[in-house]
Amino acid sequence: MVKSGTIILNTAARFLMPLQLMFSVFLLLRGHDEPGGGFIAGLVAAGAFTLYLFAFGVSATRELLRMVDPRDLIGVGLLFGMVSVLPAWFMGQPFLTAQWWTIPVIDFKASTPLIFDVGVFLAVLGSVMGMVMALMEADKDEP
């Protein structure tokens, strides 16, 4: 159904996708202070891969993702979400209490909410990509 292989789309996708992915990481990291965050970043990243998918098709995208199956991303995302709970637990504080550390050299604020946000990012990316790819593949099966 989706005709892949038009020159403009192919060329655009090739250049846009890395930019979009970088942008999504940027959104993810700055999300705590300025507009952005895991959910938005996940959607942007999913948009990047979907663009690539439209341009080059499912098998090319699978090759791009190599070992990573979108369904695994969902699980890893949930795992990050759960792991971010553990530090508070070891400190004897209530469930999900945020913990903050500063990494000295680069003066970066590391925290459990950030781990949690990465989990949101991965879960959103995995869910959207999983659904889109399943839809595309379902389409391909038909004669």
Partner 1 sequence: MQLALLMGFVLAAASPLLNRWFGQRASLVMAIFPAFLAAWLISLAPSVVNDGPMLLEWQWVPSLGISLSFLLDGLSLLFGLLITVIGTFVLVYAGGYLKGHADIARFHVALVAFMASMLGLVLADSLFTLFVFWELTSITSYLLIGFNHTDIEARKSARQGLFVTVAGGLMLMAGLVLLGIASGSWSLHEISQMEGDLRQHALYTPMLICLLIGAFTKSAQFPFHFWLPNAMAAPTPVSAYLHSATMVKAGIYLLARLHPELGGTALWVGILSLVGATTMLTGAFLAIHHTNIKKLLAYSTIMALGTLTMLLGIGTEYAMTAFVTFLLAHSMYKGALFMVAGILDHETGTKDVTAMGGLRKLMPVTAAITMVAALSLAGVPPLLGFIGKELMLEAALGAGSFRPLIVLFAFASAVLTIAVAAIIALRPFYGQRQSTPQDPHEAPLSMLLGPGLLALGSLLVGLAPGLLGGNALLTSAAIAVSGQSMDVSLSLWHGINLPLIISIISLGLGFLVFKRWGGVRSKLAYLNPIMRRGPEAGYEGFMNGVVLFSEWQTRLLQNGYMRNYILVMLTVLIALIGNSILLRHSPQLAFELDVHFHEVIVVGTMAMGAIFATISRSRLGAVVSVGIMGFSIALVFILFSAPDLGITQLLVETLTVILLVLVLFRLPRFSNLSTTLERIRDGVAAASLGVLVFLLIMTAWSIDQFESISTYMVENSVPLAHGLNIVNVILVDYRALDTLGEMFVLALAAIGVIAMLRLRPVEDDDSSAVNGGKPNAKEPYDG
- Chain residues in the site for partner 1 (CB under 8 A): 1-2, 31-40, 43-44, 46-47, 50, 71, 74-75, 77-78, 81-82, 95-96, 98, 100, 109, 111, 113-114, 116-117, 119-120, 123-124, 126-128, 130-132, 134-139
Nearer to partner 1, 18 or 75 (CB): 75
Q: How are beta strands 108-111 and 100-103 bridged, if at all? A: antiparallel
CB of 66 to partner 1, least distance (A): 19
Nearer to partner 1, 4 or 127 (CB): 127
- Per DSSP, 37 falls in state -
C-alpha separations of 71 from 8, 13, 43, 68, 132 in Å = 31, 23, 16, 8, 12
| SS3 call for 4 | coil
